[in-house]
Chains A and B, each alone.
Chain A
Amino acid sequence: MKDEIRRYLAIVGKDLRVEFRTREILYTTTLFALLLVVIFAFAFLSDQSKSRIYGPGIVWVTVLFATTVGQNRLFDRERENDCLWSLLLSPAAPSTVFLAKATAQVAFALLMQVPTIVLILVFFDLQITDPLSFVASLALGNVALGLIGTLFAAMLMNARMKEVLLPLVTYPVFVPVVIAGVKVTAVAVGAPVVEDVDTWLRFLAGFDMIFGVVTVALFGRMVRA
C-alpha cells in the first residue's frame, strides 16, 4: 500500500513537472477556453438581461469542451515512446496508474477553469450568490469528467480518430453531469429557477462514487483486452 501511494505520487508529480516545464496543456486549453467564452459572448450577449439565463450553460459548455481537449493532450504525452506502457508494465497496480492520471487530469482542468470562469463572470456580469455550492458542483463535476475522460482517453490514445472519438464516446455519459452542473450554477448565480441544489450535488457525488468504482474496475481489464 505504501509503495502504491509512492507510485501514485510519482506519476502525478511527473505529470505536473512536465506540465510546468512545457506549459503546453494549460496554455493551450486555457486560451481555447477563453476564446470560447468570447465566442459565446458574441453569440448570446446581445441582450444583457438574459445573461443569468445563458451564463450557467456557457460555464459548463466551456468546461466540457476545454476539458476534452486537455484530456486528449494529456495522453499524447503518454503515447510518445509508448510511455503509458512504462507505467502499465511496472509493478504498479493498474488502478494506481489510472487514479494518478485522473488526478493530474482533474488538476489541470481546474487550473484552466479558474481564469475562464472569472472571465465569464465579468463578461456576463454575473454575481455568485452561493459560492459554496457552485465550487462544489465544479469540483464534483470535474471529477466525473476526469474519471470517464481519462478512461477513454487512455484507451483511444493510439486511435487515429481519437480527437473526435473521445467526445463521441464520453459526451452521452457526461449529459447528466452537465444537467446537474447547470442546475446548481443557475441557482448559484440567482437565475429565476426553482431547483433543489442539495439533490443535484448529492446526484453528482453519487455519480462520482459509482463511476469511480466502475472506471477503476474497467481500466485494467480494458487496457489488456
Chain B
Amino acid sequence: MAKGGSGAVGIGYGLTVAAAGMLATAIYAVFLVAPVEATLGISQKIFYFHVGSAINMLLSFAVCAMAGLAYLTVGGARPHWAGIADAVGVATAEVGVTLGAIVLVTGPLWARKAWGTWWTWEPRLTLSLMVFLLFLAYLALRAFAGSDRFGRGVAAGLSILGIPAVYFIHFAVERWGGAHPQVVYKGGLSQPGMRLAFGLSVAAMFLFAAALAWLRILTERERRQLDALYLEVDRRSE
C-alpha cells in the first residue's frame, strides 16, 4: 500500500499550489477586474465567495453520498475499496462543513448590507443551512453512533438518504418562504468582468475544496496504514 504514496502526496502539493494560485487570481479578478456593482456597492463582492462556496458545498455533498453508496454496496466483501469510499466520505463531509461555514458567515454579512437584516429565509440560503446541518449530523453519527465500523455504515446511510432529502427540502423551502428578493442572484452578473470573476471564484473554491479533501483522504490513509501495522504486529504476537 505504501507504493504510490509519494505520487499521491505530490498530487496533494500540486492541488494546494493550484488552489492558492487560483484563489489569488480570483481575488485579483474580484477586486480589480470586476466593476463595483451599482446599487450594492463594494459589499456585492462577497457574493463571489459566497456562491463559490455554496456550489462546491453541494458538490461535496453529492460526492459524499456517492461514497456512502459505494461503501454500503461494496460492503465487507472488498475491505480495501470500502476503506477508500469511507475515506472519501469523511473527507468530503468535513470539507463540506468548512464550505458550509463560509456560506453561512458570508450570507448574513451580505444580507445585512443588501436587505438590512442578518438572516433571511431566502430559499437557497435556507437550503445551504439544511445541507450544513445534514453534514453535521453525518459527522456526529460517525463519532457517536457506535463502534467505528457500525457508525460509518449508519453515516453512509444518512448521506445516501440526504440526496432525496435535499431535493425535497429544496422544493419545500422554495414554496415556503414566499417573496424574498432574488434580484441579486439573477441580475448580479450583468457585466463580463463580473462573470469572469465569478467563474474564477467558483474554480478557486473548487480547487481549494479538492485540495483539502485530497489531503484529508491522505491523512485517513495514513491512519489506516498505521492501524494495519499495529494489527499486523498484534497478529504475529502471541
What sequence of 0s and 1s flags, for each residue 144-180 of chain A, a beta carbon within 8 Å of any chain B beta carbon? Answer: 0000100110011011110001001100110110011
> How many Å lie between the Cα of A169 and that of B161 in the bound state?
11
Residues of A that sit less than 8 Å from B by CB = 148, 151-152, 155-156, 158-161, 165, 168-169, 172-173, 175-176, 179-180, 183, 199, 203, 206-207, 210-211, 214-215, 218, 221-222, 224-225
Which of B144, B156, B161, B165 makes the CB contact (< 8 A) with A159? B144
Residues of A contacting B162 in the complex (Cβ-Cβ under 8 angstroms): 173
B8 within 8 A of A: no
Q: Nearest CB to that of A173 among chain B residues?
A: B165
Contact with A along B128-170 (1 / 0, CB 8 A): 0010011011001100111001101110111011101100110
Verify B137–A222 contact, CB threshold 8 A.
Answer: no
Say whether A210 contacts B164, CB under 8 Å: yes
Q: Is B105 an interface residue (CB 8 A)?
A: no
List 4 tightest A-B contacts by C-beta distance, closest first: A225-B153, A176-B172, A176-B168, A179-B172
Q: Digit string of B106-137 for contact with A (CB within 8 Å is 1, else 0)?
A: 00000000000000000000000010011011
Do A221 and B133 touch across chains, with their CB atoms under 8 A apart?
no
- Contact residue among B75, B153, B164, B172 (Cβ-Cβ distance under 8 Å from A180): B172
Shortest CB-to-CB span from B70 to chain A, Å, is 12
The answer to whether A214 and B164 have CB atoms under 8 Å apart is: yes
- B residues less than 8 Å from A206 (CB atoms): 168
* B171 interface residue per 8 A CB criterion: yes
CB of A196 to closest CB in B, whole Å: 9
Which residues of B are found within 8 Å of A165, using beta-carbon distances? 140-141, 144-145
Chain B residues 163 to 191 lying within 8 A of chain A, measured CB to CB, are 164-165, 168-169, 171-173, 175-176
A199 proximity list for chain B (CB < 8 A)? 175
Beyond A160-B144, A207-B168, whether A225 also contacts B156 by CB under 8 A is yes
| Contact present for A215 and B169 (CB under 8 Å) | no
Contact B156 A175 (CB under 8 A): no
A173 with B161: in contact, given A165-B141, A168-B140, A203-B171 (CB under 8 Å)? yes
Complexed CA–CA distance, A159 and B137 (Å):
14
Q: Which residues on the A side are within 8 Å of B146 (C-beta)?
A: 156, 158-159
The reply to whether A172 and B145 form a contact with Cβ atoms under 8 Å apart is: no
Residue B20 lies at the interface, judged by CB distance under 8 Å to chain A: no
Smallest beta-carbon distance B42→chain A, Å? 35
Q: Does B72 contact A (CB under 8 A)?
A: yes
Closest to A148 in B: B161
B171 surroundings in chain A (CB, below 8 A): 176, 203
Contact at B140–A172, with CB atoms within 8 Å? no
Given contacts A156-B154, A169-B158, A172-B137, contact A221 B165 (CB under 8 A): no
21 contacts between A and B (CB under 8 A): A151-B157, A155-B145, A155-B157, A156-B146, A159-B146, A165-B144, A165-B145, A168-B137, A168-B140, A169-B137, A169-B140, A172-B137, A175-B169, A175-B172, A176-B168, A180-B172, A211-B161, A221-B153, A222-B72, A222-B154, A224-B153
Q: Roughly how many angstroms separate A161 CA and B154 CA in the complex, as a whole number?
A: 14
Q: Using Cβ atoms and an 8 Å threshold, which residues of chain B touch A224?
A: 75, 153
Tell me which residues across on chain B come within 8 A of A161, comparing CB atoms: 144
B149 and A225: CB pair below 8 A? Answer: yes
Q: Which of A161, A210, A222, A225 has the most CB of B within 10 A?
A: A225
Contact of A225 among B75, B136, B160, B168 (CB under 8 A): B75
- By a CB distance below 8 angstroms, the chain A residues around B157 are 151, 155, 218, 221-222, 225
